[in-house]
Homo-oligomer: A and B are copies of this chain.
Amino acid sequence: MSDAPRDIDHLIELMAKLPGLGPRSARRAVLHLIKKRGLLLNPLADAMHAVAVSARECLNCGNIGTSDLCEICQSEKRANGEICVVEDVADLWAMERSQVFKGRYHVLGGTLSALDAVGPEDLRIPKLVDRVISEEVKEVILALNATIDGQTTAHYLAEQFEGSDVQVTSLAQGVPIGGELDYLDDGTISAALKARKSV
């Protein structure tokens, strides 16, 4: 593949499996790592081992943490009656960076998709319905991507809470059509959260 020694070739092949890296950028990255052995290669290997050992998916919300319940689900402060529903953990991190949401999260792990045959049971939707009751949630804030599947999922979720006292809102102003949450700057996310409206 690169005519490098076998160890190095193997590393290049694995690196090329990362999203955003092709074979060429994987080769460049590995050469960079070898040049920065002490500063980057060894620390990176150690950091990967540490994360492999410590990372856990939160059993309650789907966030990534270091125990069965993530820090946000452990914090009583965050139990303010609001749950923000996101598609994946990267979106949760994007919301947290905006520092404007004080409640808890629920990570769906994707969106409903007829094309990919993703139904409610494939996401964490039943768990969300349970949590709304057990955590006495007053408002479910949908922070889903402004894609067709994201909006289909939003409508489905709104239907689940119809006729109940739970208010379902969604991020409004500022999320561009077809835009993905994780690409937005923090200010845009803040504005969208503050201007949220009923679905």
Contact = CB atoms under 8 A, between A and B. Distances in A.
A93 to B, nearest CB: 5
A75 B11 CA distance: 24
Interface in A1-39: 2-5, 7-8, 10-11, 14-15, 17-21, 24-25, 27-34, 37
Given A8-B51, A29-B20, A44-B15, A34 B3 contact: no
A28 B14 CA distance: 16
Interface stretch (A64-72, A169-177, A188-196): A64-72
Contacts of A33: 18, 48, 51
A31 to B, nearest CB: 6
**Interface residues of A: mostly helix, strand, loop or mixed?**
helix
Nearest to A18: B29
Given A31-B88, A64-B5, A37 B20 contact: no
Given A19-B29, A32-B18, A45 B52 contact: yes
Contacts of A34: 51, 55, 64
A103 to B, nearest CB: 14
A49 interface: yes
Contacts of A48: 11, 33, 41-42, 44-45, 48
A90 interface: yes
Contacts of A4: 64, 93
Interface of A: 2-5, 7-8, 10-11, 14-15, 17-21, 24-25, 27-34, 37, 40-52, 54-55, 64-66, 71, 88-90, 92-93, 96-97, 182-183
